[in-house]
Structure 1
Amino acid sequence: MDANRIEFETMLLARHIARPRRGEGNLESSAYLLLSRISIQGPMSVGELSEAFDLDTSTISRQTTAMLNADLVKRIPDPDGGMARKFLVTDEGRKRLEQQRAGNVRGLDVVIEDWDPADRAAFATYLERFNNDIERRTGHPWPRPADASAPRA
């Protein structure tokens, strides 16, 4: 059954991606995800992050506290004048996010280096479609950076 194969392969993919790496920024997976979201969307409150990730505010609070302590984010007043303070990625957070993302891209490039360019493009298209369908069904869309579809050097 296709759904069984997809479930198994996505489980393995998650395992491979979550595998700790030496160097490359050394971010915890939760910090990598939170920094990615804030860097794309802009400053976000605990409530907004909780909604975006469909997690308890207590979980988000623990994760953002660890990120504050590591100087990955800082708290700022709501730029729109709201009451809740928001998290903004610091220069250190941006640097470590970019380092880790670059390491991830290098690792993926090694894995797919022998793939035909059409296969690479098709795989990216199917992954994007798969994620978009999940987001549509769950009601938790993930914003994409403007350059997400751009070819990388």
Structure 2
Amino acid sequence: MPTTQDMTTDLDPGLLDALQHQVAVFARRAEQTRLGGVGQVRNSMDRAAYLLLNRLDQEGPMGVKALAAGMGIDSSTVTRQVAPLVDTGLVKRTSHPEDGRAVVLQLSPRGQARLEEVRSSRRELMRQVTDGWTEEERESFCTLLTRFNSALSARQAGLPAAEQEAAASGS
């Protein structure tokens, strides 16, 4: 079984150092700015709320377990993060259509409007930050960042290296 050292000897250590440094800088800047958009909406929604609302919008109503599994986090974390969204009327709890005993979470009309407001602000931030990039550069960056995030997610899930690469490349 090759060691971590064996696996990196064929790769340029300077390039790997530069990559890890740029990822660290990105993480710091993303946290500092929270990439929260522009204007009055800037930083008006935390990352957890945005990701939860976005998932409910894209995938429709679902239970806490399904939401947690899809986001790769614990059900208790989702429950804790959803509570203020329910309290503020952005998410509603409803009975499952097939099993009235089960509860599903769904985006409320207010949540939909708020999510679109935040999305629009964040979309404008991305436009400003990538001003001067070509459409192909934006697409390439998005593709590579998606692949990078998929590889990190697969690694966090404990998948073997071959499965991590497959998950990262979308195979």
Range of TM-score over shorter length: 0.7 to 0.9
Aligned length: 140
1:12 to 22, 25, 30: 25
Distance in 1 of aligned mates of 2:120 and 2:24: 23
Give the number of the structure whose alpha-carbon radius of gyration is greater. 2
AA at the equivalent of 2:74: D
67-76 or 50-59, larger mean C-alpha shift: 50-59
Q: Which runs of 5+ in 1 are unaligned?
A: 140-153
Could you give the per-residue CA deviations for residues 93-148 of structure 1, whole angstroms, max 9, x where no partner exists?
11111111111111111111112333222212212332344445556xxxxxxxxx
Q: Which has the higher contact order (CA 8 A, sep 6+)?
A: 1
Aligned equivalents of 2:64 and 2:16: distance in 1? 34
TM-score, structure 2 as length reference? 0.68
Match of 1:60 among 78, 93, 99: 78
Provide the C-alpha distance between the structure 2 equivalents of 1:36 and 1:83, rounded to a whole number of angstroms: 25
In the alignment, structure 2 segments of 5+ residues that lack a partner are 1-12, 158-171
More helix by share: 2
Shift in Å at residue 75 of structure 1?
Answer: 0.4
Change (3 A) 1:12 1:95: farther
Q: Share of identical aligned residues, percent?
A: 29
Instruction: Spell out the pairing of 1:13-92 with structure 2 (5 A cutoff).
Output: 13-18=26-31, 19-20=33-34, 21=36, 23-24=40-41, 26-81=44-99, 83-92=101-110
Report how far residue 16 of structure 1 moved: 3.5
